[in-house]
Amino acid sequence: MTTETFIEKPKTLATLRAEIADGRTKAADLAAGYYQRIEKLNPRLNVYLSLTKERALAQAARIDAMAAKGEPLPLLAGIPVGIKDVLVMQGAPSTAGSKILQGYRPPYDCTAVARLEAAGAVLLGKLNCDEFAMGSSNENSAYGPVRNPADPERVPGGSSGGSAAAVAANLAVATLGTDTGGSIRQPASFCGVVGVLPTYGRVSRYGLIAFASSLDRIGPFASNVRDAATLLGVIAGHDPHDATSSPALVEDYAAASDIPVQGLRIGVPSEYFGEGLDPEVRAAIGKGIDALKAAGCTVKPVSLPHTKYAVPTYYLVATAEASANLARFDGVRYGYRSPKSATLSDMYSHSRDEGFGAEVKRRIFLGTYALSAGYYDAYYLKAQQVRRLLAEEFLRAFAEVDAIVTPTSPFPAFKIGEKTGDPVAMYLADIYTVTASLAGICGVTVPCGTARAGLPVGMQVLARHLGEATAFRVARAVETAGIQE
């Protein structure tokens, strides 16, 4: 591993907000400082695809004016935040990491983005990601790979690699990402930050450029559990623009994260600790489990036997939905249009062939095949049936335990280019994350020590539907245990 590292932990949300409120820090100066750091480090890490300076500095000026007048400040007043480029911002480039959306500037804000800004956040810009959120390494972006701040020769994870790397390198205090099969949790683990998978429907998907609509979720990244919990509390809640968003009351997740875990029942599934798990990752997660025992938790084994079918099930359901969702990108209404187009048919075929990258094409082909006549029952329908079995297994497990802990990834961050020649090996990187995605439950990944040469390891904490408060409690207990190498 190279000695070059860009890891730098930002101040907490509460600290920064307090400094802005009492005048020790100006929101405008804070934003300017982050832009200076981005200018210095982004050429090396390739985290940001575009910056929204005018909007950010106008928001910072509003916050400073409120502070100068002694007015009550909103919860995220002046906090610099980055946004994954699959989440639209009015007037800002929104490429989803793809050539096919070059030049697209949406006329509206994603609901989650709007809620952050309404809470006072300063939106710095749009973050690099795997094309249309399809990938586990952030090497599929049409605009080049993101590099891991812990070791720039390694991947940051995907698809929200830019979101995770931005927090790890302190190029934003917090960020938003999306998770379809592990795209928040795995990069958070690889970069050594906290990432949150909310329950499906807990956060509105309005303004998210869709990959797989029954799986896609928006969630936050932060450098610590309490900040991540605060961010989720801001963006969660019902939205009339999204019929799948839950009307359930949004809890005070930050306060819940402070509640001791003594007496909680923690499940450990044997299926997540078998062949293929890196020994150093196993050891780090073992220390995390010991820390929960020391904090007063009862640890017991649970079984999730259909886990072995999760990866093929996910890659049937997700690709089928992707083949339908991505049909809208045809060179007609927005984005890239091939100059080779002599006829309408040519325009469709050339625009899509030139605009989409190899991994996106692969998933469209897989999904179209799974939905085609004669194969629908054998593949897509069967995958949906297995998905139901996986969800039922989690329901049974949560009748016995309050939370389930697992490794987030079977291995630490791998080198750039190491797995690009083997798509199946890349897909298997999601083996511990796709189960929760298919079941619709929530989870948090929290740093849990390191593996070789200091590479971060993450522990995944899963909880039942709308059980985010419990997941944050357990994650905070692991965080405060101070698990070291």
Q: Which residues are catalytic?
A: 84, 159, 183
Q: What would the 3-class secondary structure string for the chain be?
A: CCCCCCCCCCCCHHHHHHHHHCCCCCHHHHHHHHHHHHHHHHHHHCCEEEECHHHHHHHHHHHHHHHHCCCCCCCCCCCEEEEECCECCCCCCCCCCCHHHCCCCCCCCCHHHHHHHHCCCEEEEEECCCHHHCCCCCCCCCCCCCCECCECCECCCCCCHHHHHHHHCCCCCEEEEEECCCCCHHHHHHHCCEEEECCCCCECCCCECCCCCCCCEEEEEECCHHHHHHHHHHHECCCCCCCCCCCCCCCCHHHHHCCCCCCCEEEEEHHHCCCCCCHHHHHHHHHHHHHHHHCCCEEEEECCHHHHHHHHHHHHHHHHHHHHHHHHCCCCCCCCCCCCCCCHHHHHHHHHHHHCCHHHHHHHHHHHHHHCCCCCHHHHHHHHHHHHHHHHHHHHHHCCCCEEEEECCCCCCCECCCCCCCHHHHHHHHCCCHHHHHHCCEEEEEEEEECHHHCEEEEEEEECCCCHHHHHHHHHHHHHCCCCC
